[in-house]
């Protein structure tokens, strides 16, 4: 599955042995048909090569889909509780490897160890939950309108599923897709983000170690157009599940629509947190820091807009900015670090570009805005936690997803005004309200246009047994997590058994 190859120079300036990872196709660890590879580098220190991965092409996708199609013939017939037992075993293995996998993840994408441990834990939680689903997958058994006739609906698998994932939750998000897909009896080809193939590789390897038969999951690493494109286009891929940007979602959605595939799109966000005058301000500041700068602001649910009522606006800004300035930025491997680097150079450039945009739009830069380059920062993609105040809701920094540690604070008059600002946006993933007034809380729960609303908590922190997903340009209406995932990865079949020994015509033979 992985072999050592010589690479260099490294941190020490000498050649070192780096692991080279292969694709998994039909139970075999194989090199890509292109003969090319790419490096996975540590964004906290780009001299550190985390691994060498296959730069695959359409022929690898073809082979993987063929393997999955073949494996589906047997896998669909394995009883769901037996399929789920393998997923349960995977949960146990993952639990045992949590620290190792968290460290791999911090090294490949930069978020701090506490968070990467949480990412692995989310895969563990999903595995236990989906293992339980193997004994549920309930469908309705319901009375027939005719005598001596039995009616029920059963869930059936779809076939080969193409799964395309982003880099910010490189084990949790693949687990949200892979685990319900296989428990439902599908087979899969997964293409992880090019910045984080190792964490997905660790999940796939765990499932293999847990006893998954060959061909049921296949991993093909590489880039979007060369691997993700052919995977979403392939006629034998019956369902496509993508988590990523709205721009890529639009492409994948259109491709899938041409062949009427099941298609789940979980896309961008620009999530508001509303702080009313009666809020517990200490709690709101704490939450706003965690929501805004956790994962370096690189969460689809990141608290990127904080809408504050005028009575506490000044105090909130002062205290929030002071705390943001004090956040310890550094290598996520250091337990003291509170915010890691941007995932790559492009993302850092985007973050810095939005700082310029915010300044040009006339927002007040209260702290941050600069790349960090001195000392230990010199070889990574670090920037300061950045806060803009007096942001107009129409400004680009308040409307567009930045996906970095840049928070916009927007003043508001009252709850009604805050909800209007919150909703007046293209996206609708997460939202939050800080208040002690239960009436206001319930109004916001009803009126915020988002797939998720938190009361007295920031916009991040989903639990795996609840529906996850958004409205408007955040997606196409599907939900991950909980039973929604089972809904996506299965299709209903209505079954009627007539034991009357006569022809009974529905809607016609009513015995009247
Ligand atoms: P991205 O859209 O650039 O890439 C996502 C995946 O799509 C990657 O694996 C990429 O290689 C692949 N891809 C790129 N072009 C493709 C193409 N033409 N055809 C098929 N596949 C293609 O996103 P990213 O930078 O990896 O992740 C960040 C984005 O993901 C943000 O917009 C964020 O909000 C979103 N996100 C959403 C959720 C959610 O559940 N709503 C969760 C996490 C991240």
pLDDT in tens, 317-375: 999 999 999 999 999 999 999 999 999 999 999 999 999 999 999 999 999 999 999 99
- HSE-up of 404 (CA within 13 Å, CB side)? 30
The percent of residues above 90 in pLDDT, for the chain, comes to 96
Q: Distance (Å, rounded) from C-alpha 444 to C-alpha 426?
A: 18
Residue 53 has pLDDT above 50, yes or no: yes
pLDDT bin (cut points 50, 70, 90) of residue 1 is: low
Is the Cβ–Cβ distance between 32 and 24 less than 8 Å?
no
Ligand 1 neighbourhood includes 427 CB (under 6 angstroms): no
Residue of 109, 119, 237, 248 best suited for mutating to test ligand 1, as the one with most atoms within 8 Å of CB = 248
pLDDT at site 371? 98
In which element (H, E) is residue 4 found? Answer: strand 2-7
Q: 397 phi and psi, to 5 degrees?
A: -65, -15
Encode 249-288: b = buried (16+ Cβ within 10 Å), e = exposed: bebbbebbeeeebbbbbbbbbbbbbbbbeebebeebbebb
Ligand 1 centroid, distance to 242 Cα (angstroms): 7
Nearest in space to 385 (alpha carbons), one of 303, 455, 267: 303
Return the ligand 1 atom nearest residue 269 CA.
34
Residue of 244, 481, 484, 488 best suited for mutating to test ligand 1, as the one with most atoms within 8 Å of CB = 244
Active site residues: 266, 300
Q: Distance (Å, rounded) from C-alpha 149 to C-alpha 125?
A: 41
Average pLDDT value over all residues in the chain: 96
Q: Distance (Å, rounded) from C-alpha 474 to C-alpha 404?
A: 18
First to last CA, the chain: 69
Ligand 1 centroid, distance to 63 Cα (angstroms): 23
Q: Distance (Å, rounded) from C-alpha 72 to C-alpha 46?
A: 41
Ligand 1 neighbourhood includes 268 CB (under 6 angstroms): yes
| pLDDT tens digits, 62-92 | 999 999 999 999 999 999 999 999 999 999 9
Is the Cβ–Cβ distance between 462 and 478 less than 8 Å?
no
Domains of the chain listed by start with CATH number: 57-267+475-493 (3.40.605.10), 272-455 (3.40.309.10)
Residue ID of nearest Cα to ligand 1 atom 9:
193
Ligand 1 neighbourhood includes 248 CB (under 6 angstroms): yes
Return the ligand 1 atom nearest residue 222 CA.
11
DSSP label of 86 = H
Q: Count other C-beta atoms under 10 Å from residue 423's C-beta.
A: 16
The pair of structure tokens assigned to 379 is 């070889």
Ligand 1 centroid, distance to 166 Cα (angstroms): 5
Ligand 1 neighbourhood includes 23 CB (under 6 angstroms): no
Q: Distance (Å, rounded) from C-alpha 283 to C-alpha 85?
A: 41
Which three-class secondary structure state does DSSP give residue 501?
A: coil
- Partner residues linked to 150 by β-bridges: 143, 497
What are the DSSP E strand ranges found in 300-451? 303-309, 364-367, 371-372, 382-383, 386-389, 406-412, 430-434
Ligand 1 neighbourhood includes 167 CB (under 6 angstroms): yes
């Amino acid at each position: 599955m992985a072999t050592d190859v010589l690479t260099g120079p490294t941190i020490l300036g000498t050649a070192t042995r780096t692991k080279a990872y292969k694709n998994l196709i039909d139970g075999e660890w194989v090199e890509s048909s292109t003969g090319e590879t790419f490096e996975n580098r540590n964004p906290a220190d780009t001299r550190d090569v985390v691994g060498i991965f296959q730069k695959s092409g359409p022929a690898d996708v073809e082979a993987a889909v063929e393997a999955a199609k073949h494996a589906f013939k047997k896998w669909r017939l394995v009883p769901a509780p037996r399929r789920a037992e393998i997923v349960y075993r995977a949960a146990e293995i993952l639990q045992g490897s949590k620290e190792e996998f968290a460290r791999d993840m911090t090294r490949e994408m930069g978020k701090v160890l506490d968070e990467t441990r949480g990412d692995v834990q989310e895969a563990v939680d999903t595995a236990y939950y989906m293992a339980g689903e193997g004994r549920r997958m309930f469908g309705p058994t319901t009375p027939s309108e005719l005598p001596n006739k039995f009616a029920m609906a059963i869930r059936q698998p779809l076939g080969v599923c193409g799964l395309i994932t982003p880099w910010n939750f490189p084990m949790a998000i693949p687990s949200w897709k892979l685990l319900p897909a296989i428990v439902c009896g599908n087979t899969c080809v997964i293409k992880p983000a090019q910045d984080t193939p190792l964490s997905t590789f660790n999940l796939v390897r765990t499932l293999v170690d847990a006893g998954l038969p060959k061909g049921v999951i296949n991993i093909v690493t590489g880039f979007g157009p060369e691997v993700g494109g052919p995977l979403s286009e392939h006629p034998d891929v019956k369902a496509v599940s993508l988590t990523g940007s709205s721009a890529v979602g639009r492409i994948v959605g259109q491709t899938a629509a041409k062949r009427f595939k099941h298609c789940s799109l979980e896309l961008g966000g620009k999530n508001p947190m509303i702080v009313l005058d009666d809020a517990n301000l200490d709690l709101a500041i704490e939450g706003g820091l965690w929501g805004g700068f956790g994962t370096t602001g690189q969460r689809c649910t990141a608290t990127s807009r904080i809408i504050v009522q005028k009575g506490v606006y000044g105090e909130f800004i002062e205290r929030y900015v002071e705390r943001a300035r004090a956040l310890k930025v550094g290598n996520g491997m250091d337990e003291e670090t509170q915010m890691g680097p941007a995932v790559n150079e492009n993302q850092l450039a985007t973050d810095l570009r939005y700082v310029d945009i915010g300044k040009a739009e006339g927002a007040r830069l209260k702290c941050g805005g600069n790349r960090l380059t001195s000392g230990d920062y010199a070889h990574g993609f670090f920037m300061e936690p950045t806060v803009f105040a007096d942001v107009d809701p129409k400004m680009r920094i308040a409307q567009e997803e930045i996906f970095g540690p840049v928070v916009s604070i927007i003043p508001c008059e009252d709850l009604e005004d805050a909800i209007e600002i919150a909703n007046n946006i293209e996206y609708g993933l997460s939202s939050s309200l800080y208040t002690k007034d239960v009436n206001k809380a319930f109004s916001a729960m009803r009126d915020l246009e988002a797939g998720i609303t938190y009361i007295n908590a920031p916009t991040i922190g989903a639990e795996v047994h609840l529906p996850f997903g958004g409205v408007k340009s955040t997606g196409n209406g599907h939900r991950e997590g909980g039973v929604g995932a089972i809904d996506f990865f299965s299709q209903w079949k209505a079954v009627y058994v007539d034991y009357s020994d006569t022809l009974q015509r529905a809607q016609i033979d009513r015995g009247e």
